[in-house]
Amino acid sequence: MATELTIAVVGPAGLVGREILELLGQRQFPAGSIRLLGTHRTAGAEVELAGRKEKIALLTPQAFDGVELAFFAAGPGVAGEHAPRAAAAGAAVIDVSSRFRLDPEIPLVVPEVNVGKLGEWRERGIVASPSGTATALGVVLGALAAAGLRRVVVSSYQGVASAGRRAVGALSQETIDLLNARGVRRRPRFARRIAFNCVPQVGALEPGGSTTHELLVVEELRKLLDRPGLGMSVTAVRVPIFFGSAFSVNLESESPLGAAGATAILQRAPGILLHDEPGGSYPTPAEVAGSDATHVGRVRDDPSAEPPGLMLWIALDNVRKGTALNAVQIAEILARDHL
């Protein structure tokens, strides 16, 4: 195991970057020094790190000299340009953007699902972390996969934090404007007004009617579970909550799971917190914000499928386990076993 690593975090002032920094401190990650790399907007600003102040520096092509582990939390364009440079400079790169998720030479990893894939990280020096939706579904469906998953139908209810810090500000501003009876005064950040609304479009609409996000989630999940033929349809809906997301899932499998069997599996599964107390307990996004677990509830039979299927509900903090915690868990395993 490496002792103290030199680390870089690209995008330290964003929602995910800030959460990564907080988790590194909380989980006592063996970090020697941490290089914070941002844009002209934030370079020079100070960030509190383990009780001391660190300055954000400008991301440049030379910024990764001497870095052993680099978190990229700045979007696919930045990852496409700088992650290969960081890897060439010798860093193990963990990218949370969509840029490399479907690249066949780059492992897409959720430790609870396919930790063995991390062994392939050296091929390109980069590990990809999935979208929050694919991470949540991967943790739960990975636990149930032994039943032989055949078809999955998902509806998501996604808070605005999964679209970044400006989206959080936009929901806040729209809500204030509407409560003050001023109407929505600026161009909506989402496809439609988000305050007091639900928008069935996450990402751009593609020919055929699905969105880029929905199509990507299907492919990410197939890669994560190593089930290229998995039948799957996703409808992603943006809802006016800040942090947290939830998912309604209908599942058909080769050998019927049944609610009792699935409950027994999910109770033991790593990373999952099952809400199954009598009297109807279930998790909601607001209640699970800040939690490390993927929360599951409302596990029940679906008698409308042949053979009978399963229905369940998932809630998680999409910035935390959905993204930052998954990246930090990957880093912990790399630091322990590979660096």
Question: Contact residues for ligand NAP (CB under 6 A)?
Answer: 10-11, 13-17, 38-39, 41-42, 59, 73-75, 78, 96-97, 131-132, 161-162, 164-166, 318-319, 322-323
- To ligand NAP, the closest distance from the beta carbon of 160 in angstroms equals 9
Output 39 or 248, the one with its CB closest to ligand NAP: 39
- To ligand NAP, the closest distance from the beta carbon of 174 in angstroms equals 17
Output 59 or 139, the one with its CB closest to ligand NAP: 59
State which H helix or E strand residue 32 sits in: strand 31-38
- To ligand NAP, the closest distance from the beta carbon of 300 in angstroms equals 28
Q: CA triplet 97, 98, 104: central angle to 5 degrees?
A: 120
- To ligand NAP, the closest distance from the beta carbon of 17 in angstroms equals 5
Burial class (CB in 10 A: 0-12, 13-18, 19+), 53: exposed
- To ligand NAP, the closest distance from the beta carbon of 110 in angstroms equals 12
Query: How many CA atoms lie less than 13 Å away from 300 in the CB half-sphere?
Result: 10
Output 211 or 253, the one with its CB closest to ligand NAP: 211
295: which 2 tokens?
A: 């929360």
Instruction: Tell me the C-alpha distance between 44 and 42, whole Å.
Output: 6
Helices 15-26 and 325-337: crossing angle, nearest 10°? 50
Q: Which residues contact 72 (CB under 8 A, 6 or more apart)?
A: 10, 11, 78, 79, 82, 83, 86, 93, 94, 95, 96, 97
Instruction: Tell me the C-alpha distance between 313 and 250, whole Å.
Output: 9
CB 223 within 8 A of CB 137: no
- To ligand NAP, the closest distance from the beta carbon of 103 in angstroms equals 15
* Cβ-proximal residue to ligand NAP, closest one: 14
